[in-house]
């Protein structure tokens, strides 16, 4: 978000399900097919940025099936910026700090309620609707850019993957500005 201080940018959150094979109960991280070196690098980057930004993190021991979470977040975009970001923050804290299974619909209902999203709206998010199509579109966009992990950031045709330092993002934003001026 700090890029908005320097650049007139629009953020388009494209929510992407990375492990659709996971059960709603979640899966142990060790069951994922990541080579240990790759996983350790991902964790080191996440921990480093979290420390720099003073964001608390718990040890990551499991991963969830995020489909219901993503449908809820996608649906809540239409409720406005404040609701979407409040939900996003609560979901982040629930998973990365409190080690809650955000694939569990009961936990999602609780989190949604904490940010003022009623149960009827939450149920609508999981019902068949345009949010399902948007998740599918996001999947196809990710494949186009060969994105296989989150977070990933697209600046024009440049893709940044993983936990990225602010300076790298600023450089990517500056490239876009330079292209538009040229």
In a structure prediction context, what are the per-residue pLDDT tens digits for the chain, which is 182 residues long? 578 788 887 888 999 998 888 888 888 888 877 777 877 887 888 888 888 888 888 988 888 999 999 999 999 999 999 999 999 999 999 999 999 999 999 999 999 999 999 999 999 999 999 999 999 999 999 999 998 888 899 988 899 988 788 888 889 988 887 766 65
Token pair of 96, please?
């990365």
- H or E stretch including 170? helix 166-181
21-74 tens-digit pLDDT: 888 888 888 887 777 787 788 788 888 888 888 888 898 888 899 999 999 999
* CA atoms of 23 and 104, how far apart (whole Å): 10
* CA atoms of 44 and 91, how far apart (whole Å): 21
Contact 132, 93 (CB under 8 A): no
Strand blocks (E) in the chain: 27-28, 62-63, 152-155, 158-161
Ordered domains of the chain (ranges, CATH): 3-181 (3.40.30.10)
* CA atoms of 147 and 61, how far apart (whole Å): 23
Give this prediction's pTM. 0.86
Contact 84, 76 (CB under 8 A): yes
Residue 180: what pLDDT? 66
Residue 149: what pLDDT? 80
Residue 1: what pLDDT? 54
Contact 40, 121 (CB under 8 A): no
How many helices (H) and strands (E) the chain has is answered by: 8, 4
**Residue 157: helix, strand or coil by DSSP?**
coil
Residue 71: what pLDDT? 97
Q: For residue 71, which of 133, 149, 126 has the smallest C-alpha distance? A: 126
Token pair of 136, please?
């599918």
């Amino acid at each position: 978000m700090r890029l908005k201080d320097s650049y007139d940018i629009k953020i388009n959150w494209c929510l992407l399900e990375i492990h659709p094979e996971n059960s709603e109960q979640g899966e142990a991280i060790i069951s994922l097919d990541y080579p240990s070196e790759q996983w350790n690098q991902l964790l080191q980057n996440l921990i480093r940025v979290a420390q720099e930004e003073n964001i608390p993190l718990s040890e990551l021991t499991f991963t969830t099936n995020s489909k219901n979470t993503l449908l809820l977040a996608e649906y809540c975009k239409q409720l406005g910026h404040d609701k979407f970001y409040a939900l996003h923050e609560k979901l982040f804290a629930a998973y990365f700090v409190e080690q809650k299974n955000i694939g569990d619909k009961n936990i999602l209902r609780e989190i949604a309620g904490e940010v003022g999203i009623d149960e009827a709206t939450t149920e609508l998010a999981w019902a068949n609707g345009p949010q399902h199509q948007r998740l599918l579109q996001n999947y196809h966009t990710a494949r186009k850019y060969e994105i296989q992990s989150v977070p990933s950031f697209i600046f024009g045709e440049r893709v940044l993957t993983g936990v990225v330092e602010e300076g790298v993002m600023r450089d990517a934003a500056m490239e876009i500005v330079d292209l538009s001026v040229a």
